[in-house]
Amino acid sequence: MITLTNLEKIYRTKEIETVALENVNLTVDKGEFLSIMGPSGCGKSTLLNIIGLLDAPTSGTVEIAGTYTANMNDKQLAMFRNQKLGFVFQSFHLINSLNVLDNVELPLLYRKVSAKERRVAAEAVLEKVGLSHRMRHFPTQLSGGQCQRVAIARAIVGNPDIILADEPTGNLDSKMGAEVMDLLHKLNKEDGRTIVMVTHNEEQAKQTSRTVRFFDGRQVM
């Protein structure tokens, strides 16, 4: 599903050159739930951003669902992300000036789906994450756990093959974190979605199908 080959990411300024990722080779199979672990600054978020086509590698190739992404322009990348990928961020990244329903509809907006269809799809996924009673609320009126469930609903509303989650429980207490993890496992097992998750939590990593570890930009296990 995802193949990274000889991936390298170097951040350069006038004075300093920082190697964020070095010679990363990684394959993620369809339907796999992969967790990425490592200390802060080891490059795991950078890796997730590159897989999510939010950032470009300095060298190496990224192949997702049989497509090499290297020569895509902004419009093609946007469309690819929209169709194939769903994102869950640590800090939720919900849009405070939109209500829950409008936040969830966001990916469908860029597919030019009609308003009615968007509404039906968004309502369905909100039902799935157990927030159908909060549809008209604004993010500032929700708890952290509810916000993250809205973010998950937004990630899956477009029915993407891959969900990329960057420390999805990092800002939640243990109870809410467990709820979110349950939801992700459900999406993996019942819907067959491929999930790549960055986490610091050993317990959560153990529950996934595979864990890869990074240290100083290198894959160590």
Partner 1 sequence: MLKVYFKQAWNLIRQERLFSLIYIVGTGLSVSMVMVLSIVFYMKVANIYPETNRDRILVAKSGMVSFENGRNSSSSLSEGMINTCFASLDGVEAIALISRKDGEFLLQPEGDPVQLPVTVKYVNTDFWKVFPFRFIDGKPFTDADQQSAIRTAVIAESLSRRLFGKDEAVGKYISLNFRSYRVCGIVKDASLVTRETYSLIWLPYTLADGYQPNSSFYNTEALGEFSAYILASKDKNLADLKKEAEAAVERYGKTLHDKTFTALGQPDYYWQSIFRFWSNSRPEYGKLVLQYGLVLLILLLVPAVSLSGMTDSRMERRLAEMGVRRAFGAPVTTLMVQVISENFLFTVLGGVFGLLLSYLLLYLSRSWIMQLDATFVDVLPEGADVVFSPSMLVNYQVFGITLFVCFLLNLLSALIPAWRASHRQIIYSLNAK
Interface residues toward partner 1, by CB under 8 A: 49, 52, 54-55, 74-75, 78-79, 81-83, 87, 89, 93, 95-98, 102, 106-107, 109-112, 115, 154, 158
Q: In terms of CB distance, is 70 or 78 closer to partner 1? A: 78
Rounded to a whole number of angstroms, the minimum distance from the CB of residue 87 to partner 1 is 5
Rounded to a whole number of angstroms, the minimum distance from the CB of residue 149 to partner 1 is 16
Helices (H), the chain: 44-51, 74-84, 100-109, 115-128, 144-156, 174-191, 202-206
Rounded distance between C-alpha atoms, residue 189 and residue 193, angstroms: 7
Q: In terms of CB distance, is 140 or 206 closer to partner 1? A: 140
- Report which of 107, 115, 191, 181 is spatially closest to residue 145, judged by C-alpha positions: 181
Q: In terms of CB distance, is 17 or 114 closer to partner 1? A: 114
Strands 59-64, 2-12: pairing is antiparallel
Rounded distance between C-alpha atoms, residue 201 and residue 95, angstroms: 27
Rounded to a whole number of angstroms, the minimum distance from the CB of residue 88 to partner 1 is 11
141: left (phi over 0), alpha (psi -120 to 50) or beta: alpha
Rounded to a whole number of angstroms, the minimum distance from the CB of residue 174 to partner 1 is 26
Q: In terms of CB distance, is 108 or 205 closer to partner 1? A: 108
